[in-house]
């Protein structure tokens, strides 16, 4: 992918509101050849989606039968996009969204439900246990690896007649016109343009579309990184998910298909890097101390991968003819496995807002329409971002008053059913406004 920096130009072009109606970013290296004239291969659609990660692709799938014509663009070749060594906890609400989209059946073969969640603090012996019965449901969530998730979503796109997928195709420029947005796309060394009524930026946490639109962000990088990998334990996992809080950071085990588990081990940067480089035998010894012996001997089932962790929230999610979804709009600490789930909810909510606006005869790129999506999602996302930050900070801390406070919190979760149910509904996505 070409490395770009961007210039952004803003003008206040719309009467009666102070939204910028013009935003633009350009390749800074103007020596790069543009082999075809800018306008030569223009083609039109209703929605251009930039970013074919799990959120952009979910959004594209959710457009099936909506009547919108859309193009989904991703800069990476498909074999690179699907080859990410990560697994996700998928919330009950995300499961319902996938079901409504019609992709659930395809995903189920690779999903592993979890039927219990065990939450514990350091070496405190008392454990909070969440059961499906707490919600009167058969499971509490699911786990799936990135590769089958994205492959199945992309294969579902073949059934969506009005959605075209283009990859590798990098968006290298955007210009806003009064009635449309023009996206410059580079594919196979050729540049062409695409004219859409709305641009949906699903281009990840370092979103260049967000930057180009001048949307600021707030947040911070954590002092920790996440080491993730798969293990194959000697004994079955019994579909139990674990989250244990250690002074270094949370340690999570997700039960995957075929009795394998995905581990997300949050550690201070230097320690995480040292563990990444440790010989396998020595690493397994360190790991076993954290993992415990409940599943017997452990064998690594994948390479270890290190991810940086940050909290980031866009100051806004929308501008005239632009909407941000997923990590382009917000990122959170992986504790509790929420990041992708928020993005899936954004995608479903945005499709709902756009469909209603179109049915009411409104322009889907109009800022007043897009603000409905922002009003819906921003507060809910903020709550989860704050909650995950609070969890990480209060549990990665040995200050006695805080230890006392969090132990009281865990006591409440164990002994006061309404508190437990509210926490569970928050983490499973069932507390906010549902898009399905």
Ligand X SMILES: Cc1cc2nc3c(=O)[nH]c(=O)nc-3n(C[C@H](O)[C@H](O)[C@H](O)COP(=O)(O)OP(=O)(O)OC[C@H]3O[C@@H](n4cnc5c(N)ncnc54)[C@H](O)[C@@H]3O)c2cc1C
Per-residue exposure over 256-287, b if at least 16 CB sit within 10 Å of its own CB, e if not? beebbbbbbbbbbeebbeebbeeeeeebbeeb
Sequence-ordered list of residues with C-beta below 8 angstroms from that of 97, at least 6 positions apart, any chain: 58, 62, 344, 345, 347, 348, 435, 436
53 or 314, CB closer to ligand X?
53
Instruction: Tell me which residue has its CB nearest to ligand X.
Output: 53
**Contact criterion met (CB below 8 Å) for 241 and 117:** yes
Q: How far is the CB of 201 from ligand X (least distance, A)?
A: 9
Segment interacting with ligand X (CB under 6 A) among 37-45, 332-340, 360-368, 411-419: 332-340
Q: In the bound complex, what is the minimum distance in angstroms from residue 434's beta carbon to ligand X?
A: 17
Six token digits for residue 239 = 């579909």
Residue 150 Cα to chain centre, angstroms = 12
Nearer to ligand X, 382 or 414 (CB): 382
Using CB under 6 A as the binding rule, whether residue 149 contacts ligand X is answered as no
Q: What is the DSSP letter of 158?
A: G
Three-class secondary structure of residue 194 per DSSP: strand
Does 52 participate in binding ligand X (rule CB under 6 A)? yes
CA angle 336, 342, 343 (to 5 degrees): 130
By CB under 6 A, tell whether 261 contacts ligand X.
no
Cβ-contact 45, 163 below 8 angstroms: no
Contacts of 318 (CB under 8 A, 6+ apart): 324, 367, 370, 371, 373, 374
Contacts of 418 (CB under 8 A, 6+ apart): none
Q: How many residues bind ligand X (CB under 6 A)?
A: 34
Q: Of the ranges 229-237, 339-347, 350-358, 425-433, which one interacts with ligand X (CB under 6 A)? A: 339-347
Nearer to ligand X, 303 or 417 (CB): 303
Q: Which of residues 76, 116, 195, 273 is near ligand X by CB under 6 A? A: 76
Confirm or reject binding of residue 228 to ligand X (CB under 6 A).
Answer: yes
Residue among 95, 165, 204, 429 that touches ligand X (CB under 6 A): 204
The residue from 326, 365, 429, 435 that contacts ligand X (CB under 6 A) is 326
From 264, 354, 357, 384, residue interacting with ligand X (rule: CB under 6 A): 264
- Please report whether residue 432 would count as binding ligand X according to CB under 6 A: no
Asked if residues 161 and 60 have their Cβ atoms less than 8 Å apart, the reply is: no
- Which residues make Cβ contacts (< 8 Å) with residue 251, sequence separation at least 6? 242, 243, 244, 245, 263, 264, 265, 266, 290, 291
**Residue 338 CB, nearest distance to ligand X (Å)?**
5
Does residue 54 bind ligand X (CB under 6 A)? Answer: yes
Tell me the window of 52-60, 61-69, 212-220, 239-247 that interacts with ligand X (CB under 6 A). 52-60
SS3 content of the chain, % helix, strand, coil (to 5): 35, 30, 35
Q: Residue 20 gets which letter from DSSP?
A: -
3-state secondary structure of 17: coil
Among 27, 46, 47, 53, binds ligand X (CB under 6 A): 53
Cα-Cα-Cα-Cα dihedral sign, residues 365, 367, 369, 370: positive
One of 25, 26, 46, 51 touching ligand X (CB under 6 A): 51
Residues 97 and 64: their CA atoms lie apart, in Å, by: 13
**Counting contacts by CB under 6 A, is residue 81 touching ligand X?**
yes
Question: What minimum distance in Å lies between the beta carbon of 249 and ligand X?
Answer: 11
Q: Which is nearer to ligand X, 180 or 309 (CB)?
A: 309
Site string for ligand X, 100-139 (x = CB under 6 A): ----------------------------------------
- Exactly one of 19, 25, 26, 56 binds ligand X (CB under 6 A); that residue is 56
Q: Which stretch binds ligand X (CB under 6 A): 18-26, 48-56, 152-160, 350-358?
A: 48-56
- Residues lying near ligand X in the complex (CB under 6 A) are found at 50-56, 73-76, 81, 86, 88-89, 170-171, 202-204, 208, 226, 228, 264, 307, 326-327, 334, 337-341, 343
């Amino acid at each position: 992918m070409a490395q770009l920096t961007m210039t952004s130009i803003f003008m206040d072009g719309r009467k009666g509101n102070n939204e910028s109606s013009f935003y633009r970013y350009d390749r800074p290296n103007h020596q790069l050849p543009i082999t075809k004239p800018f306008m030569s291969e223009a083609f039109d659609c209703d929605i251009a989606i930039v970013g074919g990660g799990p959120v952009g692709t979910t959004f594209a799938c959710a457009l099936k039968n909506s009547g919108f014509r859309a193009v989904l663009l991703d800069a990476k070749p498909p074999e690179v996009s699907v080859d990410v060594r990560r697994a996700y906890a998928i919330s009950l609400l995300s499961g319902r969204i996938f079901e409504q989209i019609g992709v659930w059946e395809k995903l189920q073969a690779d999903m592993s439900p979890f039927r219990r969640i065990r939450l514990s603090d350091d070496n405190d012996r008392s454990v909070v246990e969440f059961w499906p019965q707490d919600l009167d449901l058969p499971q509490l969530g699911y786990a799936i690896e990135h590769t089958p998730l994205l492959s199945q979503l992309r294969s579902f796109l073949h059934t969506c007649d009005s959605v075209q997928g283009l990859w590798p195709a990098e968006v290298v420029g955007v210009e806003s016109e009064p009635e449309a947005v023009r996206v410059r796309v580079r594919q196979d060394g050729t540049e062409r343009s695409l004219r859409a009524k709305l641009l949906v930026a699903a281009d990840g946490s370092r979103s260049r579309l967000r930057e180009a639109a001048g949307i600021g962000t707030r947040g911070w990088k954590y002092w920790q990184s996440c080491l993730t990998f798969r293990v194959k334990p000697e004994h079955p996992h019994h579909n139990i998910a674990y989250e244990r809080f250690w002074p270094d950071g949370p340690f999570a085990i997700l039960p995957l298909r075929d009795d394998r588990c995905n581990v997300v081990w949050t550690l201070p940067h230097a320690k995480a890097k040292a563990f990444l480089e440790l010989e396998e035998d020595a690493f397994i010894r360190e790991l076993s101390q954290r993992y415990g012996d409940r599943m017997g001997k452990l064998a690594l089932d994948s390479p270890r991968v290190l991810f940086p962790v940050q909290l980031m929230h866009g100051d806004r999610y929308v501008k005239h003819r632009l909407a941000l979804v997923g990590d382009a709009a917000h990122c959170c600490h992986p504790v509790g496995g929420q990041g992708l789930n928020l993005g899936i909810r954004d995608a479903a909510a945005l499709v709902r807002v756009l469909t209603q606006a179109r049915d009411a005869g409104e322009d889907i790129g109009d800022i007043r329409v897009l603000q409905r999506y922002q009003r819906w999602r921003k507060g809910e996302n903020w709550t989860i971002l704050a909650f995950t930050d609070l969890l990480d900070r209060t549990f990665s801390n040995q200050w006695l008053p805080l230890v006392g406070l969090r132990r009281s919190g865990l006591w409440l979760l164990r002994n006061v059913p309404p508190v437990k149910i509210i926490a569970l509904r928050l983490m499973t996505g069932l507390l906010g406004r549902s898009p399905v």
